[in-house]
Copies of this chain bind each other. A is one copy, B any other.
Amino acid sequence: MNTHHDVCQVRSVDKKKVRAVMKSMLTDQEAVHLSETFSVLADPTRTKIIYALSSEELCVCDIAGILGMSVSAISHQLRILRNMRLVKFRKEAKMVYYSLDDAHITTLFNEGLNHIRE
């Protein structure tokens, strides 16, 4: 609930503009969904994992080795990526091999990578 006690009392300087923008504004659901999408890529460990998996299918142990981090930390992050359907996995004996499973986010990832590297 919005009590407006700290919201600008004029409510709007340009009511016409305000009404127009409000009409096309993202819904809360859209804004949350959109920001959650970006959140997946908003962590250096996860960007490294995604980058690593973009060239090779890898087991948890090797990802940990490549990033110089604990298997546990990597496993926790892989769970997040799994829940977001960004990676898929395949079991073979005692090993679990991970690979990318989302062409969409990969595009977004590469778009971001191009931006910082330009």
Residues of A within 8 A of B (CB): 2, 6-8, 10-14, 17-18, 20-22, 24-26, 28, 30-39, 41-48, 51-52, 55-56, 58-62, 64-72, 95, 104-105, 107-108, 111-113, 115-117
Contact = CB atoms under 8 A, between A and B. Distances in A.
Main secondary structure of the interface of A (DSSP, over half): helix
Contacts of A33: 116
B21 A58 contact: yes
Given A13-B95, A42-B35, A72-B6, A48 B62 contact: no
Contacts of A108: 108, 111-112, 115
A45 to B, nearest CB: 8
